[in-house]
Structure 1
Amino acid sequence: MSHQEALTKYLAAFITGLVQAGVKDVVISPGSRSTPLALMFSEHRDVRVFMNVDERSAGFFALGIAKASENPVGLLCTSGTAAANYYPAVIEASLSGVPLIVMTADRPHELRDVGAPQAIDQLHLYGSHVNWFAEMALPETGMEQFKYAKTTARRAVKEALGQNKGPVHLNFPLREPLLPVLDPYPFNEEEESIAIEDGILFLPHGKLKNIAEQLKGKEKGLIICGPIEEHDFTEAVTILAKKLGFPILADPLSQLRSSSMSETPVIDSYDAILRTEEAATALKPEVIIRFGGMPVSKSLSLYLKKQMDAEHYVVDNGSRWRDPNYSGTTMIHSNETAFCTGLASLIVEPHSLNWLSKWLEMDEMAKKVIAAHMELTEELEEGKAVYELVDLLPVESTVFVGNSMPIRDMDTFFHKNNKNITVMANRGANGIDGVVSSALGAAVYKRPLFLIIGDLSFFHDLNGLLMAKLQKLNINIILLNNDGGGIFSYLPQYGEPRHFEILFGTPTGLNYEHAVQMYHGMYTKILDWEGLKMAVLDAVSYEGLNVIEIPTDREKNLSSHREMWKKVSQEISLLLQDVE
């Protein structure tokens, strides 16, 4: 058997293993050393290949596909620094639990560390940010080698889909010649697969019963839901909260704010409520049950730090230690939905609803104040842009949210609704890089999709727009342009005006219309609120890349937010006095 025949059979076995394990999409960046893998993936009838010429964008694009499809996605590049450009996306995938199968082509061993071109040390390149690393054997003949390649592929998917989902890294040393034999069709579609049976992690009945006993008589409790992607969780945690009489403080990424379920005990204005010192002091919980990652709200985080006397259960479907405040008293490794369902079945005695009623009353009061403030806001302002957008979004749509101010405005202004809107974001490392690419990756499976993003994050990933053009993807980008880093105006750095603008404000003064035109997109600049309404309504039926830019003023944004929070605090304080 020739080298090329062995190469073909070896890689065919590997790719067959990936496909049998559920990999359907592969994102490839061009390169020479990765030629045999790229050609073989492109030849497979059941693999959809996306070519992305920018590796940094490619990594985040694959991440977006994986988040939206909930399936592992392959990611392939050539040797050298191409692989290093995947690093930011690999880190995000690791911290946010997204399954990526990262495949890097490499020089064979005899060309390493001898000055060969495009050769770097790729072994364990991503360090602890991958669930598993394997240096693949050089392609050779023999049934044992083919079984090895196929089994390694299956294991890679298993490792990516473990209790803690995340990326894996496979490094492929490949010798020339690099062209596989594509004729006849190199894949055997009747090849036997390897069965892998997975279950879910759950607490034994006895331990759940102990927790139910501990919750007896506890009337003042909170359920905190941060970013979480767990099927059937919304219904399960809602049933548990109603039985306990506990409010659910739900981050927008918990998927609890937009649901067809009626009369949910969800509190969505807690960020504004807990900015009121009297509220944060008066609302002392006896018990806290937390699911998912940490919510975005700073005021909630500060509030939780002070609740050192409360029993604090942290529930996580894996072995992660999600307790940055060091306030957890019981760490529970269990499937979140199974935990809620099991515990709810053991809650027999009805709990008092006084505590829940107090939270719901404050929540309604805060939302009324926010709504009144928005009505009076005539100038273009970022918070109102998000507030208005919620009403304009179609049912079953998806919103991808950028970091820094957009996700915080989503937290403040995305209130409960029954539209079943999916909210997505890259909140693993909370970076502003790769957001456009991730949203476009999600657009492969989600439609209609809206991206809400700030101007610096948009600039950071302009290259990502190429995928909209090449793949004919549909995306509506709401570009909030305050000409700089708006988030820093809310931080202590704002108190150092001498160097603030050049170091933190970082205005660019760019005209993004030209960039959108370069990628053959539609561009609309908003001049008033009626213009936003018309642009969003038109966007639903638009095909392709559509950018709606909303110019805002950083100083006015800051003063508007502060004025709104002050009004909320005043009303909440009065409400608490009346209760007393």
Structure 2
Amino acid sequence: MAFLYTNEKNAQVILCLLKAHNIKHVIASPGTTNTALVASMQQDPFFIMYSSVDERSAAYMACGLAAELGEPVVISCTGATASRNYLPGLTEAFYRKLPVLAITSMQSFTKVGHHVAQVIDRSSVPKDAVKLSVSLPIVKDDDDLWDCEIKVNKAILELKHAGGGPVHINLPTTYTKPYGTKELPAYRVINRVTVHDSFPILEGKIAVFVGSHKQWSDTEIKSLENFCLQNNAVVFCDHTSGYYGKHRLLYSLAAAQSMLDKTDYRPDILIHIGEISGDYATLNMAGKQVWRVSEDGEIRDTFHRLRYVFEMPEKYFFEHYATGNLEEDGYYQRCHQHLDSIRAKIPELPFSNVWLASKLAPHIPPESTIHFGILNSLRSWNFFELPATVTAASNVGGFGIDGGLSSLVGASLANSEKLYFAVIGDLAFFYDINVLGNRHTGKNLRILLVNNGKGTEFRQYNHHAAYFGEQADEYIAAAGHFGNQSPTLVKNLATDLGYEYMTASSKTEFENCYEGFVTSEILDRPIVFEVFTDSTLESEAIERIQTLVSSPKGKTKERVKKILGPKGISTLKKLVKR
């Protein structure tokens, strides 16, 4: 009888990635839940296998073999107390930094805690038994498969990371038969590259995506500039990226065009640096591969296309690839011209956060700092350039609405001679309102409160909650709180606390007074500028600016999305793959 591979995809991912990382030595203990894995290994001549009835002995055997070979060794066992017997050997491996990969198979996690025979809780592992413990899902859809690929890659890479050590994988089984997979599918491999390793070849259209980023040093800026010049690379930025060097593009306006096919403007390789980004539009500009560069060396698969993690300073990476082998394909020039052509099409917009951004962005005083509320404010202002010497920030780390004003006040304490602006919606403003009464607030604060009386994000034309129309206001968009756009509530509060209060409810009123808000002179009081807008116009403005240009393919995709919805799109993708 010819034995084939298991059809269980989570086990297939393990088998594929073990082979890709050249991990071949396996010590197997008998059991039922690990049959899918062990039987598949047994029929593949790549694996060198040994048997051990006693799991405690198997773990110590792995320690000895790993120490002797200087290579990772896999141990596999079943459910019940089998995995508990690994603990002494894994503890030995932990303190000796030996690369032992313990794969403990089991029934579905849903059975834990329900008195099901041979099912124990492995969710907690002693801190000094393994460096990392991951639990794989039973693969039912593409998200589960992505989760498996990432977790298995992460586990395997951790075996040798930062000195190495033991790692644990929980592998659930469905007891699927027959074993009908003739060849293992090619699942995605992720490699970690350090300064001591060989570097992969960089070729094709290259872009750098910068998430929120710490302050740039002059040498870091120069290294990225040289890299871009030598590789004709584009740097996709938003305001939190803080990068103003050569080949920088504030690309959100182009990336957000929902009816435009963007295939020609996507790179082959996207270099990902920085941390979390709130620029949702440009997050869709990933290329065929993503290379993550960070000193933390962690797997951050933001784009679901991660291929390499470069554990090193960004400067080292960019200097290495500034080789001088420039291929003049005009990629940067095409992206730049494309962005300029779209900017030229921006029409007169409704009175909204987007309109305010279009009017105020060029007038923010030089050398000042501006903080944006998450989602609508950050999105709206990412469509427009700020002066080159203006720095920007947003609480995209935790991505909550609860600390925008406090972060602004904290930043303003660093330099009383510098202006600090904020653009914030009403829910976020009132959520963090206590800080306005803090006795350390200074004259250098300027707060633009865009008050539409609700969480206008949930009323945008393309938001999931738009399905409910005005009914979304009651509980989803939380309309009607905090005075329900009271013309006096913020005014009285601000003036009582010593702020100058400004207000506008129309374009005319705004045009008549905004210059006082952006004056470069530090006045005798901080300012709160409350602008009253309507969520309907906010949505209309976003829709207008995200549909400035179109292409036949882009229009078709957008229509298909609306007709099929998320579930239909997922089903269609599966059919195409077949």
Q: TM-score range by the shorter chain?
A: 0.5 to 0.7
- Look up the equivalent residue of 2:248 and give its one-letter code: V
Q: Deviations over 1:381-427 (max 9, x none)?
A: 211211222211111110011112111112222x2643x11101111
Asked whether the 8 Å contact 1:476–1:539 carries over to 2, the reply is no
Structure 1 residues 568 and 277: CA distance shift in structure 2, 3 A: closer
Q: Which residue of 2 aligns with 1:551?
A: 532
CA distance in 2, matches of 1:557, 1:524: 21
Matched, 1:465 2:436: yes
Asked whether the 8 Å contact 1:380–1:550 carries over to 2, the reply is no
Structure 1 residues 513 and 239: CA distance shift in structure 2, 3 A: same
SS of structure 2 residue aligned to 1:360: helix
SS of structure 2 residue aligned to 1:568: coil
Q: Which residue of 1 aligns with 2:545?
A: 564
Q: Structure 2: which 5+ runs fail to align? A: 1-161, 163-192, 556-578
Q: Deviations over 1:448-503 (max 9, x none)?
A: 11011111100001101112x44545200011111110111231111112631111
SS of structure 1 residue aligned to 2:254: helix
2:263 equivalent among 277, 281, 285: 281
Asked whether the 8 Å contact 1:443–1:475 carries over to 2, the reply is yes
Structure 1 residues 299 and 409: CA distance shift in structure 2, 3 A: same
CA distance in 1, matches of 2:477, 2:537: 14
CA distance in 1, matches of 2:525, 2:316: 40
Q: Which residue of 2 aligns with 1:488?
A: 458
Q: Which residue of 1 aligns with 2:59?
A: none
1:433 equivalent among 382, 402, 406: 402
Matched, 1:386 2:373: no
Superposition deviation, residue 533 in structure 1: 3.1
> Superposition pairs for residues 341-360 of structure 1, below 5 Å?
341-344=319-322, 347-360=323-336
Q: Deviations over 1:17-76 (max 9, x none)?
A: xxxxxxxxxxxxxxxxxxxxxxxxxxxxxxxxxxxxxxxxxxxxxxxxxxxxxxxxxxxx
Greater helix content: 1
SS of structure 2 residue aligned to 1:279: coil
> Superposition pairs for residues 441-520 of structure 1, below 5 Å?
441-446=410-415, 447-467=418-438, 469-490=439-460, 491-497=463-469, 499-507=471-479, 508=481, 509=484, 510=486, 511-520=489-498
- Look up the equivalent residue of 1:548 and give its one-letter code: F
Asked whether the 8 Å contact 1:221–1:247 carries over to 2, the reply is yes
- Look up the equivalent residue of 2:492 and give its one-letter code: H
Matched, 1:268 2:250: yes
- Look up the equivalent residue of 2:515 and give its one-letter code: M
Asked whether the 8 Å contact 1:270–1:363 carries over to 2, the reply is no
Q: Which residue of 2 aligns with 1:237?
A: 224
Q: Which residue of 2 aligns with 1:48?
A: none
Asked whether the 8 Å contact 1:274–1:299 carries over to 2, the reply is yes
SS of structure 1 residue aligned to 2:550: helix
CA distance in 2, matches of 1:506, 1:392: 33
Asked whether the 8 Å contact 2:362–2:387 carries over to 1, the reply is no
Asked whether the 8 Å contact 2:260–2:551 carries over to 1, the reply is no
Higher RCO, Cα 8 Å, sep 6+: 1
Q: Which residue of 1 aligns with 2:51?
A: none
Q: Which residue of 2 aligns with 1:299?
A: 281
- Look up the equivalent residue of 1:544 and give its one-letter code: R
CA distance in 2, matches of 1:494, 1:573: 22
> Superposition pairs for residues 11-160 of structure 1, below 5 Å?
none
Bigger shift: 506-515 or 548-557? 506-515
Asked whether the 8 Å contact 1:231–1:337 carries over to 2, the reply is no
CA distance in 2, matches of 1:348, 1:294: 31
Q: Structure 1: which 5+ runs fail to align? A: 1-162, 164-201, 575-580
SS of structure 2 residue aligned to 1:523: strand
Structure 1 residues 297 and 455: CA distance shift in structure 2, 3 A: same
2:514 equivalent among 512, 533, 536: 533
What is the TM-score normalised by the length of structure 1? 0.56
Superposition deviation, residue 314 in structure 1: 0.4
Superposition deviation, residue 559 in structure 1: 0.9
SS of structure 2 residue aligned to 1:369: coil
SS of structure 2 residue aligned to 1:567: coil
Q: Which residue of 1 aligns with 2:237?
A: 250
Structure 1 residues 333 and 557: CA distance shift in structure 2, 3 A: same
CA distance in 1, matches of 2:539, 2:284: 21
SS of structure 1 residue aligned to 2:449: strand
Structure 1 residues 220 and 301: CA distance shift in structure 2, 3 A: same
Q: Which residue of 2 aligns with 1:46?
A: none
Structure 1 residues 478 and 205: CA distance shift in structure 2, 3 A: same
Structure 1 residues 551 and 267: CA distance shift in structure 2, 3 A: same
Asked whether the 8 Å contact 2:365–2:519 carries over to 1, the reply is no
- Look up the equivalent residue of 2:455 and give its one-letter code: G
Asked whether the 8 Å contact 1:234–1:255 carries over to 2, the reply is no
SS of structure 2 residue aligned to 1:234: helix
Superposition deviation, residue 557 in structure 1: 1.4
Runs of 4+ in 1 over 4 A off after TM superposition: 570-574
Superposition deviation, residue 278 in structure 1: 4.2
Q: Deviations over 1:155-212 (max 9, x none)?
A: xxxxxxxx9xxxxxxxxxxxxxxxxxxxxxxxxxxxxxxxxxxxxxx953764xx34x
- Look up the equivalent residue of 2:255 and give its one-letter code: I
CA distance in 2, matches of 1:349, 1:416: 33
2:204 equivalent among 219, 222, 228: 219
Alignment length (residue pairs) = 350
CA distance in 2, matches of 1:472, 1:423: 19
Q: Which residue of 2 aligns with 1:153?
A: none
Asked whether the 8 Å contact 1:454–1:481 carries over to 2, the reply is yes
Superposition deviation, residue 358 in structure 1: 1.3
Structure 1 residues 244 and 549: CA distance shift in structure 2, 3 A: same
CA distance in 2, matches of 1:572, 1:387: 29
Give the CA RMSD over aligned residues.
2.7
Q: Which residue of 2 aligns with 1:402?
A: 373
Superposition deviation, residue 348 in structure 1: 1.9
SS of structure 2 residue aligned to 1:561: helix
Q: Deviations over 1:360-401 (max 9, x none)?
A: 11111122123xx1xx23x53211211222211111110011
CA distance in 2, matches of 1:417, 1:335: 28
Structure 1 residues 271 and 466: CA distance shift in structure 2, 3 A: same
Superposition deviation, residue 266 in structure 1: 1.7
What is the TM-score normalised by the length of structure 2? 0.56
Matched, 1:368 2:344: yes
Asked whether the 8 Å contact 2:293–2:314 carries over to 1, the reply is yes
Matched, 1:204 2:195: yes
SS of structure 2 residue aligned to 1:329: strand
Identity %: 18
SS of structure 1 residue aligned to 2:399: coil
SS of structure 1 residue aligned to 2:427: helix
